[in-house]
Structure 1
Amino acid sequence: MTDIHALSVREIARQVAQRTLSAEAVTRAYIERIDALEAAVHAWQYFDAELALGQARRLDKAGSASGPLAGVPVGIKDVMDTVDMPSGYGSPIYATHRPVTDAAAVAAVRAASGIVMGKTVTTEFATFKPGPTVNPHSLSRGEPHTPGGSSSGSAAAVAAGMVPVAFGTQTAASIVRPASFCGIIGYKPTFGTLPTAGIKPLSPSLDTLGVLTRRVDDAAFFVGVLANREFLLEVAGGLRVGVCATPHWDAASPASRQALADAARSLEASGAMVADVVLPHACDNLADLQTAIMSYEASLAYVPEYQTRLNDLSEPFLAVLAAGAALGGERYAVLQQEAEQGRGVMAAVFDRFDVLLAPGAPGEAPAGLVSTGDPIFSRMWTLLGNPCVNVPVCTGPSGLPIGVTVVGPRWRDHVALSAAARLEKALGVQ
């Protein structure tokens, strides 16, 4: 009997398209996992088993399950619009909101014969106020730990085996950090690779759509289908790797520092050329630039909610809006020019290295659910628009996962993905 949960995204699609496995059988297998774990994990904002099964049955009955994502169950982060499910954006303001169309990426999943399983929990408007989701790696502990955010439910659902792939969005660290905390792959593509139409905006010049998966190839295949690209993963040959402590090294725990060293050593053992890289001083303030630009753009995007539903906005989100409103348009223009200069500086770094290795998060997932953790190690990469892939490397002193970020040059995602696949193979990650 086929162990459906062990199948890759690519293999699920192949078997369903060839009718050696039905879309309904795949969907039922994942529904069973959701039924078994959801009461403890709280990964789903909206889940209707019959709705998911209905999609699968229609594919099987019509004989139309031949798309490149045939029968693949997909979790949809609840900042993305879905025509047949509520889209609440993590806020009580939109608790009863029913979109009239799908987000572009959701429509693309359906067109490729994928199964929209449900809506995964997001923090409020993909910012800082957490939802109820628990890190699956902490279920046996006395106190729950955060799965990270803002793609909390997506990361937890994939880590718990509830879906093989789920969408995440990243404006600061919302794909990479939860992937690190949950011990899975998190792929933030080059900015602009996937469409953000139909996604509740936070900061349009930063918002990036990506995925959380169990394997690098799953992420590369899934995003490749939606982006009309084929990311060929090369896991052998020469690779120039720069080990980048980033300007925020003081924030890295001993375990996170060890994870970076372990990853570098594994790549070097695989034949890669590894060297430390010190970023130019022009990179020192990139995280601050990201914070300011995000806040300013959010203050513009959320004028309607601020004017009409002020009491339904959390204090952390109001603080973001206030900081942005205080900047003003002239300062914002200067910040964007500085960000462009940073991209030029970083492009020169990638003349010397194929990829960079950097910390994915300060350490293990913090205990409790009042915070989703510090986004400091991803802010600069999101500002720059570089592709990033989190690869789980080890566990920390509490036994929770820690990952590292593989950063590639803009629009050369296949390089970052190939290096991540090589690291995955060197570490023996399955």
Structure 2
Amino acid sequence: MTQTRLTDPSALTIAAAQAAMAAGRLTARGLLEACLERVAQVEPVVRALTAFDAGAARAAADAADRAGRPGLFGGIPFGAKDVLDSADLVSGYGSPIWAGHRPRGDAAAIAMTRAAGGILLGKTVTTEFATRRPGPTANPWHRGHTPGGSSSGSAAGVAAGFFPAAFGTQTAGSILRPAAFNGVAGYKPSYGTIHRGGMKVMSESLDTIGALGRTLADCAMLVAAAAGLPAPPAARASAPRILFCPGPAEALLTDATRALLAATASRLSAAGARVADATLPPAVMAAVTAHPAVMNGESAQALAWERATSRAQISDGLLAVLDQGAALAPGALDAARVVFADARATYLDWLGDADLVLTASAPGEAPEGLGWTGDPACNLLWTALHGPCASLPAGVGPAGLPLGVQLVGRFGADDAFVAAAGWVEAALG
């Protein structure tokens, strides 16, 4: 991956950038220009952006500087996955059906972040409707490998230094898997934390807006800005209680990922965490089987207009799962939702007094080629459980590409999750 200079503002975390602004060593315009320089250098190779307006971003940065950069996200550039509407940039949802589409308003996530002082640098590449056909984005670590999906451009853009944080969305593994593949942090908050108004929703029961960033704190700051919440908590001082569970995709894990998980569990235990091996109960695992019915059934409803009017512009892969979802037997979708509800209740009982689950972010390193974004099998269960999840960079695989570990928490307890996951991030160094 092309490296940033140590003194380059585009390499700063949000906290470091805001501290430099407060001390008079940096301006919002200076930070933006550093990010735009990275875009000019790397975007022709990485291709993470679908649209951006440098002039509008510069005007917003100048306005932020004149106003003293107010707000939780004051003066910080961000990216937004192109399933979130933006009033001033084309929103195409990764599909030729919507090419050139210009919404009248911003999605709630973008509007709230702008109100908190954030500067939208650009829209980022998504797979087709955040599901199937990949876009052109390459992994900044090695352009012959996928950045993952469906939040491809957001993950690659953060890794390339285009912005310190960007919005992603997750239905199965679309935030956490690309975070792991690109060596950045990813955070999917509890379901419903960020309002989905202005998002091209596919699955009502699953779709969750989250963030990718240089650190978990960067991700949590963007989520807080978008949700209208106070600043997220710092890492807790006391060691958390952790359940170590390779997860439902254990059979798919590479040797490098298995070794990484075991080494991570040992490191956290040595740092003081109480780490215990755990096996998921059958009622929780049942959500893995139910996930395709919910995702595909609800996606068929979400894209009913596109299926009826523009089938020729939908990829064969997506058409197949949409047709499958539309053909579900009467009552099958509701039955799968009941399985989800039972799994969530059982999971909370199983979690007990533990703070976190330690599991895999992805089966292994980013696959070679850009035609497939990788398997979400390590993430889809945890998405169905609706609680907060994070992926943290934790190592490098045999091909020299990043590996991550995933942490999972308790629905609605996001502040406690961020504080405990922050302890893990610090312990992993």
TM-score of the aligned structures, taking structure 1 as reference length: 0.95
In the TM superposition, structure 1's runs of 4+ consecutive aligned residues that sit over 6 Å from their partners are none
Which stretches in structure 1 are left out of the alignment for 5+ residues? Answer: none
The answer to whether the aligner puts 1:254 opposite 2:255 as a matched pair is yes
| Contact 1:77/1:168 (<8 A) preserved | yes
Deviations 1:378-412 (A, max 9, x none): 01011110100101111111011111100011111
Partner of 1:242: 243
Deviations 1:336-386 (A, max 9, x none): 111100001100122142110011111000000110000101010111101
Alignment of 1:72-151 (within 5 A): 72-139=76-143, 144-151=144-151
Instruction: Give the whole-Å Cα distance in 2 for the aligned partners of 1:2 and 1:395.
Output: 25
Instruction: Give the whole-Å Cα distance in 2 for the aligned partners of 1:257 and 1:166.
Output: 29
The answer to whether the aligner puts 1:325 opposite 2:329 as a matched pair is no
Aligned length: 423
Q: What is the RMSD of the two structures over their aligned residues, measured on CA atoms?
A: 1.6
Instruction: Give the whole-Å Cα distance in 1 for the aligned partners of 2:38 and 2:248.
Output: 41
| Contact 1:241/1:274 (<8 A) preserved | yes
Instruction: Give the whole-Å Cα distance in 2 for the aligned partners of 1:245 and 1:283.
Output: 14
The Cα shift of 1:2 comes to 6.1
Partner of 1:163: 163
| Contact 1:69/1:112 (<8 A) preserved | yes
Question: Which amino acid in structure 2 is aligned with residue 398 of structure 1?
Answer: A
The structure 2 residue matched to 1:34, chosen from 21, 33, 39, is 39
Partner of 1:279: 280
Partner of 1:9: 14
Instruction: Give the whole-Å Cα distance in 2 for the aligned partners of 1:250 and 1:150.
Output: 23
Q: Give identity over the alignment, percent.
A: 44
Instruction: Give the whole-Å Cα distance in 2 for the aligned partners of 1:399 and 1:36.
Output: 22
Instruction: Give the whole-Å Cα distance in 1 for the aligned partners of 2:298 and 2:132.
Output: 16
Instruction: Give the whole-Å Cα distance in 2 for the aligned partners of 1:52 and 1:347.
Output: 44
Instruction: Give the whole-Å Cα distance in 2 for the aligned partners of 1:226 and 1:64.
Output: 20
CA distance 1:232–1:32, change in 2 (3 Å):
same
The Cα shift of 1:17 comes to 5.8
The secondary structure found in structure 2 opposite 1:172 is coil
Deviations 1:28-68 (A, max 9, x none): 0100011000011010011222221122123234x252122
TM-score of the aligned structures, taking structure 2 as reference length: 0.95
Instruction: Give the whole-Å Cα distance in 2 for the aligned partners of 1:212 and 1:126.
Output: 15
Question: Which amino acid in structure 1 is aligned with residue 212 of structure 2?
Answer: L
Instruction: Give the whole-Å Cα distance in 2 for the aligned partners of 1:307 and 1:152.
Output: 28
| Contact 1:267/1:422 (<8 A) preserved | no
Instruction: Give the whole-Å Cα distance in 1 for the aligned partners of 2:241 and 2:331.
Output: 40
| Contact 1:76/1:166 (<8 A) preserved | yes
The Cα shift of 1:247 comes to 2.7
Which deviates further from its counterpart, 117-126 or 348-357?
348-357
